[in-house]
Amino acid sequence: MEKTYQPQALEQEWYKTWEEKGYFKPYQDGLDGEGYSIMIPPPNVTGSLHMGHAFQHTIQDALTRYKRMQGKKALWQVGTDHAGIATQMVVERKLAQEGQPDRHELGREEFTKKIWEWKEESGGTITSQMRRLGNSVDWETERFTMDPGFYKAVEEVFVKLYEDDLIYRGKRLVNWDPKLHTAISDLEVENKDVKGKMWHLRYPLADGLTYTDSEGNEKDYIVVATTRPETMLGDTCVAVNPEDARYQHLVGKDVMLPLVGRRIPIIADEYADMEKGTGCVKITPAHDFNDYEVGKRNELPMINVLTFNADIREEGQTFNFDGTVNEELSGFIPEKYRGLERFAARKEIVADFEAAGLLVEIVENDMVIPYGDRGGVVIEPMLTDQWYVDAKTMAKPAIAAVENGDINFVPKSYENMYFAWMNNIQDWCISRQLWWGHRIPAWYDDQGKVYVAQTEAMVREKYNLDASVNLSQDNDVLDTWFSSALWTFATQGWPNLDDPEVAKRLADFHPSDVLVTGFDIIFFWVARMIMMTMHFCKDGEGKAQVPFKTVYVTGLIRDETGAKMSKSKGNVLDPIDMIDGIGIDELLEKRTGNMMQPQLAEKIGKRTKKEFPEGISAHGTDALRFTLTALASTGRDISWDMKRLEGYRNFCNKIWNASRYVMLSVAGEDVVEAAAENGSKIVITDAMKAACGANGEEAILSLADRWIISRLQFVEAEVTRHLDQYRFDLAAHALYEFIWNEYCGWYLELSKPVLWDENSSEEAKRGTLGTLVRVLEATMRLAHPFMPFITEEIWQQVKVLAGKSGDTIMLAPYPVAQDAFRDADAEADIKWLQDVITAVRNIRGEKNIPPSKPLDLLFKNGGDDDFRRAEENQTFLKKLAQLENLTWLNEGDEEPMSVTQLVGDMEVLIPMAGFIDKDKEVERLTKSVEKLDKEIERVNNKLGNPGFTDKAPAAVIDKEKEKAAGFARDITKLKDQIEKIKAL
């Protein structure tokens, strides 16, 4: 064994072994319990994993390994998502960079082929990252949302929902991304605060009408206010509030739309706000969501004046309020605006208003502008034909499932967020004008009539259409989230319920147990999964099945300053770099190379150099995982801290060296070092086994042995309890505390006096060696879900010595605390021992006595337990506190000049004739008395308060009384000591 832990030497080897042996499979020998499943949130197939993934994967893997070790058929379902827009964009950009023909030149089929090629090329990144992270996913059943089976599920769902009247098609105003040329859902819109302008424009009244305004001015126009002047080309009316006295008399009259010359009415609609702008609002139903509603209410026509690029059309498209084509209305657009880009058109139109003397004023305006979260350009409300899911209907059971507790959110507060959104849910636009995705299984005849079924042949059969009817399939694909909403059941082979294998998997693994995901996709994914799953999956009694019983919502990983990690900020960290380390040059290249905004490169480079002047050193997977685990407090964002990672790398080293000590003790220095030199494992001999009592040889347990075994039960119970409550941070903390402080800090030290004492009996040594080995072995199993690699490595080395067998720790049983091994007496005795040793060390520290200098110790004022403990633990005391003689002072004995510490009622004295500074010692003791005085005053105040003594529970009062008495005793002793020192 090496002197320090070398993770890179063993991690990848172990993973390979595990995978080859099939230990990740839910169906294998030894797993006889019930099914347990976690469905991975499928990452984008062409992406790569970031720290957030590493975090979520660590939790999922810990849970899976934990349940697997408990004997359950544990499935961590793995797979990836085709990520429609994102992937299509990446490939389009790639083609452009390589100077290849663009997608329109290639055509749909060829372009899709290119995407598949790209998927093959880049798809391995994620899976190899997952292997490095030690993720125990079932690779054999890996799924991709565009796989044939999954595709089939998606079509089935679409057709069924259509038949159930939960999907419909309609001409509606949608969020249109003019760059990507597709509709997007309202969730994909990012609203940004911007400082913009508002233009006040004059619209002249028709027919030479005039009126007198409130200030007595005669006017032949009204003034509208708008933030989007260019849409005036599509105005179909002006609205005023019905209550607005200023304009009531104008309702029913017309205005002449400037520049266009269209006659449009002035109507009364409560949407017009008297307080806002001028109180008159122009209505453009085809280009604004609010106006669209006004238009529908008032049965106004709609004029679409924009192309899909958001340029001005040659001629407006005219529709009636119900979306049917309006043949009468003119869609005339003045020639000079035709073909202009929307913002250029705005400039032009404003200029023309000004030139015509119709621009009244320009007002600065704080406003919110919608941007597409993918394309990054301003979203345009656009009148198009789209497919929708009736989300309102589907949300009802989905809301109920959370209300009645079939689904629990951890932390619970996210349920409010879920309800708020679900109760106010809008119909979900599921069609996307892309080529990459599941093509919508709908066909149209020449008249535009819709037919829905999986294939054209099925359409013909279902609707009785013979070959004379021309059919063409809908060109659009479905929103990516439509398919990922089916993730929990489609991954298991749904809808092939007749296949016994599928039926079995669904029975074992559906509903899944936990979904581990970020709060940012609760609406996108979690809510939609619940809706879809409950509609399509029923249990034996026909009751709707939920996709998962628990949703564990993780926080975000932020950088050390608390900022979100993002590529454009250049503060992203690759989990693999935490594991393997990375040089500064390579890190710089990674962060600044191939950037969307190259101008940021310099700033990012500087910042990176400052933060990581030496690059990042290697820490190993286990350290990374343990760090993430330890930081996983529920629902809280994590500020990533390299120092923390370093600390847990040290923890790995600590574990490694503890096991090294154990092996040195069992096998001897020569054997251990020889093995280290050859890079081989230590060969366990029968003699070693016998020395540890692996065959049940007689052994005597020391107090320390009994103590650590008792503490092991405690930590086993703690870790299990915390895991069951998803408190990974507390579980990690309990483990850390036990391993570092109790096992390494105390127990290993306590084992030395036994093992190194020539007078120790064979049985005593066997007891201690056996305990060293057994506790280590159990601790490795306890820690395995968090730190899979180091625990496997050490476990393989010690399992036989601990009398255990098995091919892998992955399938070894998870430790269960046993009350029979708890030993309150041993714990109390060791507590006493620790207190005495700490007292002595404390004195050494205070008085600057080197640890190597042996001291004499005097006990005073002890009870029966003190006498016994001192007697029984002489060896431990002498060794750990570096003491020469232990002596009891009897009542009335002469007391040498000493420094004192209290251990319970007992006093511990270190004679220090010659070294002691009387004044300083008095000062030190007086300070202690003062501190105690304050405490005792507080407690006495409490006890003197009748309100407290009357109302507080007896146990609490007793506790306080005890405290007061204890303080009083301590004070007496300290004062006594002060007097003695003064008297010397």
Partner RNA sequence: AGGACUAUAGCUCAGUUGGUUAGAGCGCUACCUUGACAUGGUAGAGGUCCCCAGUUCGAAUCUGGGUAGUCCUACCA
Task: Name which of residues 264 to 283 contact RNA (CB under 7 A).
Answer: 271-273, 275-281
Smallest distance from the beta carbon of 630 to RNA, in angstroms?
8
Residue 168 makes contact with RNA by CB under 7 A: no
Smallest distance from the beta carbon of 743 to RNA, in angstroms?
8
Q: How many CB atoms lie within 10 A of CB 901?
A: 20
Smallest distance from the beta carbon of 885 to RNA, in angstroms?
19
Residue 745 gets which letter from DSSP?
I
* SS3 at position 283: strand
Q: Of 561-590, which residues contact RNA (CB under 7 A)?
A: 562, 564
* Residue closer to RNA, measured from CB, 281 or 515: 281
Residue 952 makes contact with RNA by CB under 7 A: yes
User: Which residue has tokens 């020192």?
Assistant: 981
Q: How far is CA 17 from the centre of its chain?
A: 29
Q: Of 612-651, which residues contact RNA (CB under 7 A)?
A: 631, 633, 635-639, 641, 643-644, 647, 649-650
Vertex 41: Cα angle to 37 and 47 (nearest 5): 140
Q: How far is CA 956 from the centre of its chain?
A: 41
* Residue closer to RNA, measured from CB, 179 or 841: 841
Nearest Cα residue to 977 out of 862, 839, 861:
861
User: Which residue has tokens 């309890």?
Assistant: 721
Smallest distance from the beta carbon of 87 to RNA, in angstroms?
22
Helix H or strand E encompassing 429: strand 428-429
Among 733, 822, 831, 969, binds RNA (CB under 7 A): 733
Residue 928 makes contact with RNA by CB under 7 A: no
Q: Could you tell me how many residues make up the chain?
A: 984
Smallest distance from the beta carbon of 621 to RNA, in angstroms?
14
Residue 136 gets which letter from DSSP?
-
Vertex 25: Cα angle to 22 and 27 (nearest 5): 115
Residue 951 makes contact with RNA by CB under 7 A: yes
Residue 426 gets which letter from DSSP?
P
* Residue closer to RNA, measured from CB, 69 or 658: 658
Site string for RNA, 514-533 (x = CB under 7 A): ------x--x----------
* Residue closer to RNA, measured from CB, 460 or 558: 558
Q: Residue 198: beta bridge partners? A: 363
Nearest Cα residue to 84 out of 13, 136, 127, 145:
145
Residue 861 gets which letter from DSSP?
S
User: Which residue has tokens 């019930």?
Assistant: 34
Smallest distance from the beta carbon of 753 to RNA, in angstroms?
10
* Residue closer to RNA, measured from CB, 633 or 808: 633
With DSSP H G I counted as helix, E B as strand and the rest as coil, what are the percentages for the chain, rounded to 5? 50, 20, 35
Site string for RNA, 396-435 (x = CB under 7 A): -----------------x--xx--xx--x-----------
The first and second tokens of residue 671, run together, are 């054997």
* Residue closer to RNA, measured from CB, 497 or 563: 563
Residue 563 gets which letter from DSSP?
P
Smallest distance from the beta carbon of 970 to RNA, in angstroms?
8
Among 142, 445, 749, 763, binds RNA (CB under 7 A): 749
Q: What's the sign of the alpha-carbon dihedral 848, 852, 853, 855?
A: positive
Among 846, 871, 884, 958, binds RNA (CB under 7 A): 846
- Integer CA distances (angstroms), 884 to 189, 446, 857, 877, in order: 76, 104, 8, 10
Q: Of 825-844, which residues contact RNA (CB under 7 A)?
A: 838, 841-842, 844
* Residue closer to RNA, measured from CB, 212 or 424: 424
Q: Torsions phi, psi of 100, nearest 5?
A: -85, 165
Smallest distance from the beta carbon of 376 to RNA, in angstroms?
16
Nearest Cα residue to 277 out of 241, 235, 230:
241
Part of the chain binding RNA (CB under 7 A), chosen from 1-9, 74-82, 345-353, 480-488:
1-9
Smallest distance from the beta carbon of 766 to RNA, in angstroms?
18
Smallest distance from the beta carbon of 1 to RNA, in angstroms?
8
Smallest distance from the beta carbon of 509 to RNA, in angstroms?
31
Among 729, 763, 865, 872, binds RNA (CB under 7 A): 729
Q: Of 929-948, which residues contact RNA (CB under 7 A)?
A: 931, 935, 942, 945, 947-948
The first and second tokens of residue 376, run together, are 């990054």
Q: How far is CA 427 from the centre of its chain?
A: 28
Residue 225 makes contact with RNA by CB under 7 A: yes
What is the distance between the alpha carbons of residues 626 and 786, in angstroms, rounded to a whole number?
6
Q: How far is CA 973 from the centre of its chain?
A: 54
Among 515, 730, 782, 908, binds RNA (CB under 7 A): 730
Smallest distance from the beta carbon of 762 to RNA, in angstroms?
18
Q: Torsion over CA of 766, 768, 771 and 777, rounded to 10 degrees?
A: -90
* Residue closer to RNA, measured from CB, 222 or 486: 222
Residue 759 makes contact with RNA by CB under 7 A: no
Residue 186 makes contact with RNA by CB under 7 A: yes
* Residue closer to RNA, measured from CB, 299 or 366: 366
Q: Of 300-329, which residues contact RNA (CB under 7 A)?
A: none
- Integer CA distances (angstroms), 929 to 159, 859, 969, in order: 82, 21, 11
Contact indicator for 808, 21 with CB cutoff of 8 Å: yes
Q: Of 860-919, which residues contact RNA (CB under 7 A)?
A: none
* Residue closer to RNA, measured from CB, 77 or 241: 241
Q: What's the sign of the alpha-carbon dihedral 644, 647, 653, 655?
A: negative
Part of the chain binding RNA (CB under 7 A), chosen from 38-46, 68-76, 124-132, 190-198:
190-198
Q: Of 339-398, which residues contact RNA (CB under 7 A)?
A: 365-368
Smallest distance from the beta carbon of 421 to RNA, in angstroms?
6
Q: Of 648-687, which residues contact RNA (CB under 7 A)?
A: 649-650, 652-654, 657-658, 660-661, 664
Helix H or strand E encompassing 509: helix 500-509
